[in-house]
Amino acid sequence: MSTKTKAYSWVPTTYLAEALPNQLVTMISMFLLLDMGVTKDVAAFYIGWLQLPWVFKFLWSPFIDTFKTKRWWILTMEVVICCGFALCAFLLNTAFWLQAMLALFFIIAFSSATHDVAVDGFYVIALSQSDQSLYVGIRNFFYRVGMVIAKFAIVALAGVLMNPDRFGLPIATSWMIALLALTVLFVCITVWNFVGVPKTEEPARVHLKTSEVVEDLLDTFRVFFRKPHLVSALLFIFLFRFPEAQLNMMTTPFLKDTLANGGLAMTNEQMGVLTGILGVVGLLVGGIVGGICVNRHGFKRWLWPMVLSISLPDLVYVYLSLTQVTNLWIVGACFFIEQLGYGFGFTACSLFLVYFATGQKSTSVLSICTAIQYAGMLVPGMFAGYICDALGYQNFFWWIMLCCLVTFVVSAFIKIDPSFGIKEKE
């Protein structure tokens, strides 16, 4: 079986499975907590802390390199996540729902972070360099499809169920049903991956000593810190998504908040049906075009168009906050523009991590890189609610545009091989 055939059988579903638990913890949880009466600043703070497993996943990445296979880790973590989703649904309608959700979200986050390490490492070792650049748009697209399913489809389902003009169910019951639907979907993905993920690795060592694990971790850090142009790479990885880290946290409160408070007063159902449809089309076009462009001309040639693409479309939120337009098609068009730019621009972030990690102990190095990236998302995101409360939505979105200068600065100093990402001649 060819690498390309294998890739089509597992890249879409593994990255969809990578996205869904992440989005439950970092995105769906915002809708859920707001609907259940938690304030946006407190919700953002909780969600920020729940991202810690993605920050520190490099600490246990040596186990994934040295115990069993990455395929085993992928499938095992997906089973654990299935159980976590189901427990979230059944415990939501209890008196201790908040404590239960936070505990389960953390378990899901830990399992998802481990799953990320295994999937990203599998991607590096199972595909050639040219295929990595070719499939980066596809993997990013399906990751974003997972975001759409989580943030919009599941949220819209909860919105329909709690809508007094539709079913009028209690908020907790509506969310319980929506989470059960998410559980069923993830079970189907897991079953597919048991068949679709190829066996391309030899089983790693089974019996490990503590000294071996520590030595593996130390060796990973040695490899990491000997990477060329380390400082500029670290700044890029940590700060490239600095505006997005804050924007993502406040998009949902902005859309849901009342017109009097500066929001757009949209319901969960409205956000799911309209912005989800247009958003996924924008991500499809942007992500796949980004991968094709890099595959033809190389990553370095397309870096600055991607930096512009991920930054400038954030202006749509300035427009929406100034006009507070309630026409759903206009709001949907704004989402399409922003997601189109994001899908194309995020290709730069994904490819640079792969580029920097390529070489010795690539899986562990990649996990450190993604952990640093998550730290860059966690720290600004935790305090986005407090910043937004202090500035108001309009000034907050102008602040986001100012933060885009950080993305420009860190992009100016990274070093990239001009040939990286170009399709190899057959």
Q: Which residue range forms the structural domain that includes residue 221?
A: 8-196+211-412
Q: Can you give the CATH number for the domain in which 298 is found?
A: 1.20.1250.20
Cβ neighbours of 94 (radius 10 Å)? 12
Report the pLDDT value the prediction gives residue 316, as an integer from 0 to 100.
95
Is 77 a member of any domain? Answer: yes
Successive 10-residue mean pLDDT values, the chain, 426 residues: 61 92 90 90 87 83 78 95 96 92 96 90 75 73 81 85 90 95 96 88 59 74 88 93 90 89 87 70 82 84 92 95 90 87 87 85 79 86 89 95 96 87 62
Is 287 a member of any domain? Answer: yes
Report the pLDDT value the prediction gives residue 202, as an integer from 0 to 100.
65
Report the pLDDT value the prediction gives residue 298, as an integer from 0 to 100.
84
Report the pLDDT value the prediction gives residue 1, as an integer from 0 to 100.
41
Residues 6+ apart with CB under 8 A from 164: none
Number of domains in the chain: 1
Is 168 a member of any domain? Answer: yes
Is 329 a member of any domain? Answer: yes
Q: Considering the entire predicted model, what is its pTM?
A: 0.75
Is 41 a member of any domain? Answer: yes
Is 417 a member of any domain? Answer: no
Cβ neighbours of 421 (radius 10 Å)? 28
DSSP 285-325: HHHHHHHHHHHHH-HHHHHHHHHHHHHGGGHHHHHHHHH--
User: What 3 state SS string does 36-77 have?
Assistant: CCCCHHHHHHHHHHHCHHHHCHHHCHHHHHHCCCHHHHHHHH
Report the pLDDT value the prediction gives residue 150, as an integer from 0 to 100.
81
pLDDT in tens, 225-251: 888 889 999 999 999 999 988 998 888
Is 203 a member of any domain? Answer: no
Report the pLDDT value the prediction gives residue 192, as an integer from 0 to 100.
94
Is 202 a member of any domain? Answer: no
What's the CA gap between 257 and 264, in Å, rounded? 6
